[in-house]
Amino acid sequence: MSPLKVVVGITGGIAAYKAVGVVRALVLGGHDVHVVPTDGALRFVGRPTLEAISRNPVHTDLYEGVAEVRHVAIGQSADLIVIAPATANAIAKLATGLADDLLGNTVLASEAPVVIAPAMHTEMWRHPATQANIAILRSRGVTVVGPAVGPLTGVDSGPGRMEEPDVIVAAALDRVAASGRRDLAGRRVVVTAGGTREPLDPVRFLGNRSSGKQGVAIAEAARSRGADVMLIAANLEIAEPAGCDIRRVSTALELQQAVTDAAKGADVVVMAAAVADYRPAAVSESKIKKDAGDSGLTLELVRNPDILAGLGRSPHDGTLLIGFAAETESDDEQLLALGRAKREAKGADLFVVNRVGWSEGFASDENRIVVIGRNGEIVTRVHGTKMSVADDIIDVVVSEMKTAAVAAPTTKEHEPT
């Protein structure tokens, strides 16, 4: 990537000290970095540090440098604005378009992509006011990175921690790379994300650990590249993306209904959700009691339909079908072999294969994937943030559509795996 002029806005939270890492990573990447701290930020980290690390003078005062019209000049010439940390107050000001300091003016005067990394206590993050402000910013195309879940400044822990500097920088540079590309304009993309829940009784379910992060990132990447996106959201553990038509479902049967309807006329269907293979044969109307069985409890399960295989074996001319295989195999060749067999069995055009485990895959912000093509060939193999992986998957989708190589209608019967 050619060097960018990057504005790093720092607002007044404890995580301001970690913003030094963001500045440093961008400078080491060869970018020209201009730091715009708020007064609050300067209580946590000193101007000399920011000047030394950014290798540029640091300004905060709106009434300094008036002759050079600094309040708009910095924003007008920026290629990218990163705000890390973004406090609840800064997010509220950005959402309302307040310009009572240099950072507010810089953002309003700029057409550059804006990437923010929220950092605050969990209660403040979850507050409806903050969530409404985040939704406004997302709908304006602001990229929100994190917050991560983990220990906060006090004794508490939860969502609210600023993402690590390298994750923020990677997401920000991905955002610049993706902006301006509208290569899915006018296309209809359906994405399933999350994990289904199969109820046992009114209070319990059989579920899985899928957070929905990768599916949501794919929906966001497709939308930012101009697609008309429907997200079929199964029990997401993260915020729903703005700008997508959202259908909320919970069970595999609900997901089947939603995706089968949505697939009609879609150009692309991405089945990223983790769908339960089995559901309880009967759902108890009341809570199953502890003494239901003397020595234990046996649950009877029945097979769920294989939704992807169902789509794969019905005519889907003009619709690119993409399946996902999340497997625990530690051997790369075995993992690939499983992915190839599943793609074939389900009649999908492409299959995205990744490894999952106790500490890999589901809740993580990173992913390592291989995309398998129609002839079992490896189309791409990438590792990175779920956002960058999503963008790589969309690259494959775009190139498949360009070659108009969507498979002829499949009429062959496939056994569900």
Instruction: Cite the active site residues.
Output: 208
Bridge partners for 154 per DSSP = none
Contact between 335 and ligand C5P (CB under 6 A)?
no
Question: Site for ligand C5P (CB under 6 A): which residue of 306, 391, 395, 400?
Answer: 306
Yes or no: say if 214 and 390 are a contact pair by the CB < 8 Å rule: yes
Question: Site for ligand C5P (CB under 6 A): which residue of 125, 205, 324, 362?
Answer: 324
Yes or no: say if 154 and 170 are a contact pair by the CB < 8 Å rule: no
Stretch that binds ligand C5P, among 40-48, 214-222, 267-275, 357-365 (CB under 6 A): 267-275
Yes or no: say if 322 and 351 are a contact pair by the CB < 8 Å rule: yes
**Three-state DSSP class for residue 117:** strand
How many residues touch ligand C5P (CB under 6 A)?
A: 14
Helix H segments across 77-212? Answer: 88-96, 102-108, 122-126, 128-139, 165-178
Bridge partners for 190 per DSSP = 230, 269
Q: Which is nearer to ligand C5P, 224 or 304 (CB)?
A: 304
Contact between 191 and ligand C5P (CB under 6 A)?
no
Q: Which is nearer to ligand C5P, 252 or 263 (CB)?
A: 252
User: What Å distances lie between residue 114 and 88, 156, 231, 240, 385, CA to CA?
Assistant: 16, 29, 24, 19, 18
Contact between 356 and ligand C5P (CB under 6 A)?
no
Candidates 39, 49, 48; CA nearest to 17 is 49
Q: What minimum distance in Å lies between the beta carbon of 307 and ligand C5P? A: 3
Q: Which is nearer to ligand C5P, 15 or 276 (CB)?
A: 276
Contact between 336 and ligand C5P (CB under 6 A)?
no
Contact between 273 and ligand C5P (CB under 6 A)?
yes
Q: What minimum distance in Å lies between the beta carbon of 278 and ligand C5P? A: 9
Q: Which is nearer to ligand C5P, 201 or 329 (CB)?
A: 329
Contact between 216 and ligand C5P (CB under 6 A)?
no
Dist. CA 317–CA 128, nearest whole Å:
44
Stretch that binds ligand C5P, among 41-49, 58-66, 217-225, 272-280 (CB under 6 A): 272-280
Contact between 379 and ligand C5P (CB under 6 A)?
no
Contact between 342 and ligand C5P (CB under 6 A)?
yes
Q: Which residue has the tokens 């360009």?
A: 402
Torsion, CA 65, CA 71, CA 72, CA 78, rounded to 10: 90
Q: What is the DSSP string of 286-329?
A: SPPPGGGSSS-----EEEPP-HHHHHHHS--TT-EEEEEEEE--
Dist. CA 56–CA 76, nearest whole Å:
17
Q: Which is nearer to ligand C5P, 81 or 390 (CB)?
A: 390
Contact between 325 and ligand C5P (CB under 6 A)?
yes
Q: What minimum distance in Å lies between the beta carbon of 324 and ligand C5P? A: 4
Contact between 275 and ligand C5P (CB under 6 A)?
yes
Q: What minimum distance in Å lies between the beta carbon of 198 and ligand C5P? A: 11
And the tokens for 254? 């609900």
Q: What minimum distance in Å lies between the beta carbon of 7 and ligand C5P? A: 40
Contact between 307 and ligand C5P (CB under 6 A)?
yes
Contact between 308 and ligand C5P (CB under 6 A)?
yes
Q: Which is nearer to ligand C5P, 76 or 328 (CB)?
A: 328
Rounded to 5°, angle at Cα 142 from 137 and 143:
120
**Three-state DSSP class for residue 153:** coil
Contact between 91 and ligand C5P (CB under 6 A)?
no
Task: List interacting residues with ligand C5P (CB under 6 A).
Answer: 252, 271, 273, 275, 277, 304, 306-308, 323-325, 342, 417
